[in-house]
Structure formats: structure tokens, C-alpha cells
């Protein structure tokens, strides 16, 4: 797909993983449209040069308006922490957007997903909703590309509380940490070739580290210390304090105690260019 005069809609374009995609698409010459709840706030956050349509995924009229006349749509939504919220965002919203995109003959839908998304591994509300969302996208008949991403480097600061970074659970699996700038470049590149259509592409960074190793690297650059915590302890704390985020995090990290990466990034790297940013390089820039 030639970037010139093409319009790409991003749903979730003000989020941590959506904003860099919007910026990269714009830098590569695409016209970028975003569905946002508050256009004035989004304009201050994103800057000039974006077309903003007011609405959200619960308002299908606004979704239809945003999808009118676009060449592609990138879905970058975050569900949770409750099971109902995961279903609403990761399943029903993806289903509705895909169906409307098909009705309007949109050229492609791209979707961010996770490496541990399969029927076999659907043992949490989030993973079950993502499995159903991927299935709904494929069932719609619209051309698609699904990005099954490993852990993002940008998530590491989210584990920091004060002077500690919390290592939750027994995280033994090697993970190819990915920088969001590499991911954004790959998403944009996918809109410049038809070879990525109707594929699930695994997006893995250039190096593998366990979560413990990654947090130690982050700690060395940011001055925090790694503080281990069991998933059971976090669940208890969440229950005692009625903190749904903590309870949800304990479920998520227990899931990743069990499941490591599968799939191969070879096809994604061949089609979109391999990620380049290492965790140490990212820390030197961002910590």
C-alpha cells in the first residue's frame, strides 16, 4: 500500500502502544485518523497533523463514521481489569470494528495481540477474550494482520513502586523484549506491502532475557532495586485492599509463569525488518 494519500484509522491511538504507531504512520507519509473521546485533549497530547473523530468503541455510530473512507484500521485497545472489561474491549470491540470494516470495504485491519494467545493457553479472562477477538477478526472476512508481541520494554516502569521494581511470580521464561519504536515501525511497514495480509506475525525483540534479568538491567540504569513478590501475595493484597488492578495483575503474572514464547519471528523480520533496539540501549535512553 503506497502511503501517499492513504488514510489509516487508529483506534486506541492515544495509548502507550498506539501513540507511537500513529506517529510512525504519520512520519511515513500516511494520513492518520484517530477515534478519540476528547479531541481537544488528544490534540494537545499528539500535536498537529492528525484527523480526530470524536467517539469510542461503545458508540457504533461513531465507529462507522470514523471508518468511512479509510484504507486501513489499526486496533490498539486495552481491556481489563475485570472480565467484563476484557470481553468488551478485546472481544466485542474487535468484533464490531472488524464487521464494520468489512461492510465498508476497508483494505485491512491490523490488531495488536500477545504471543501467548491460543485456545490451549486461554486460561485467564484476558487471554480468552483475545482468542475470541482474533477469531472474530478472521471470521469477518476483512483482510487482516495480527501482531503477536512479546513483552514491551515500556512496561517495565509500570512495575516500579517508589524505589522498588516488583518481580511478580516465578518468571523463568526467556522473553525477547521489544521496544515500542521497533514495533511501530513494523506496523507502519505492514501497510506498505500486501505480503502481510491474513497473517499472524510474531514480534520479538533482538535479545532474550528472563523477566528477572530484564528488571536487573532496568534497575542498574534507573537506581531502583528488584523486589520479588509471589503472585499469591499480590492476590491477597488486592483482595484485602479491594484493588482490582492488583488482583488482575496477579492473574496475569501467574499466566506468564506458565507460558513462555512460542511461534517464530522469522517471517515478521523478513517482511518488516528485524527489531534493532536492545534492552540496554533502551534503558540508556529512557531511564
Residue 80, SS3 per DSSP = coil
Model confidence pLDDT, tens digit, residues 263-283: 999 999 999 999 999 999 999
In a domain, 166, yes or no: no
Return the closest-CA partner of residue 238 out of 154, 163, 166, 156.
Answer: 166
Residue 269, SS3 per DSSP = helix
Rounded to the nearest 10 degrees, the angle between the axes of helix 244-258 and helix 231-241 is 160
Q: Answer yes or no: are the C-beta atoms of 229 and 168 closer than 8 Å.
A: yes
In a domain, 47, yes or no: yes
In a domain, 87, yes or no: yes
Where in the sequence is the domain holding 119, given as residue range(s)?
Answer: 7-152+178-205+261-275
What percent of the chain has a predicted confidence (pLDDT) above 70? 99
Q: What confidence category does residue 3 fall into, taking pLDDT thresholds of 50, 70 and 90?
A: low
CA 279, chain centre distance (Å): 18
Q: For residue 89, what is the domain's CATH number?
A: 3.40.50.720
In a domain, 67, yes or no: yes
Model confidence pLDDT, tens digit, residues 137-185: 999 999 999 999 999 999 999 999 999 999 999 999 999 999 999 999 9
In a domain, 222, yes or no: no
Q: What is the pTM of this model?
A: 0.95
Partnered with residue 199 across adjacent β-strands are 145
Task: Tell me what pLDDT residue 122 has.
Answer: 94
Which of 101-110, 111-120, 232-241 is modeled with the greatest confidence?
101-110
Give the DSSP letter string of 86-139.
HIIIIIIIHHHHHHHHHHTT-S-EEEEEETT-SSTT--SHHHHHHHHHHHHHHH
Return the closest-CA partner of residue 276 out of 199, 176, 158.
Answer: 176
In a domain, 46, yes or no: yes
Give the mean model confidence (pLDDT) for residues 220-229.
96
Return the C-alpha torsion angle 28, 271, 148, 117, nearest 10.
150
Q: What confidence category does residue 2 fall into, taking pLDDT thresholds of 50, 70 and 90?
A: low
Q: Is the pLDDT of residue 245 over 90?
A: no
Q: Answer yes or no: are the C-beta atoms of 103 and 33 closer than 8 Å.
A: no
In a domain, 161, yes or no: no
Give the DSSP letter string of 226-246.
EEEE-HHHHHHHHHHHT-HHH
As for how many domains the chain has, the answer is 1
In a domain, 227, yes or no: no
Model confidence pLDDT, tens digit, residues 28-71: 999 999 999 999 999 999 999 999 999 999 999 999 999 999 99
Amino acid at each position: 500500500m503506497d502511503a501517499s494519500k492513504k488514510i489509516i484509522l487508529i483506534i486506541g491511538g492515544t495509548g502507550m502502544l498506539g501513540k507511537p504507531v500513529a506517529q510512525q504512520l504519520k512520519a511515513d507519509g500516511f494520513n492518520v485518523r484517530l477515534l478519540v473521546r476528547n479531541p481537544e485533549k488528544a490534540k494537545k497530547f499528539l500535536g498537529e497533523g492528525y484527523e480526530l473523530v470524536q467517539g469510542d468503541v461503545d458508540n457504533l455510530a461513531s465507529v462507522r463514521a470514523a471508518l468511512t473512507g479509510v484504507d486501513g484500521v489499526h486496533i490498539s485497545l486495552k481491556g481489563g481489569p475485570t472480565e467484563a472489561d476484557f470481553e468488551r474491549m478485546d472481544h466485542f470491540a474487535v468484533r464490531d470494528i472488524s464487521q464494520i470494516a468489512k461492510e465498508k470495504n476497508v483494505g485491512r485491519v491490523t490488531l495488536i495481540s500477545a504471543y501467548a494467545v491460543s485456545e490451549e493457553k486461554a486460561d485467564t479472562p484476558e487471554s480468552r477474550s483475545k482468542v475470541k477477538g482474533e477469531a472474530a477478526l478472521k471470521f469477518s472476512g476483512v483482510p487482516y494482520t495480527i501482531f503477536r508481541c512479546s513483552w514491551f520494554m515500556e512496561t517495565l516502569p509500570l512495575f516500579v513502586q517508589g524505589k522498588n521494581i516488583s518481580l511478580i511470580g516465578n518468571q523463568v521464561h526467556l522473553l525477547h523484549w521489544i521496544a515500542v519504536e521497533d514495533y511501530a515501525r513494523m506496523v507502519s511497514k505492514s501497510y506498505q506491502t500486501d505480503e502481510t495480509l491474513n497473517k499472524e506475525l510474531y514480534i520479538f525483540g533482538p535479545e532474550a532475557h528472563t523477566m528477572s534479568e530484564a528488571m536487573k538491567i532496568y534497575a542498574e540504569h534507573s537506581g531502583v532495586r528488584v523486589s520479588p513478590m509471589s503472585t499469591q501475595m499480590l492476590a491477597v493484597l488486592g483482595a484485602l485492599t479491594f484493588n482490582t488492578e492488583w488482583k488482575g495483575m496477579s492473574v496475569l503474572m501467574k499466566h506468564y509463569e506458565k507460558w513462555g514464547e512460542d511461534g517464530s519471528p522469522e517471517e515478521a523480520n523478513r517482511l518488516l525488518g528485524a527489531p534493532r533496539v536492545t534492552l540496554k540501549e533502551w534503558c540508556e535512553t529512557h531511564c
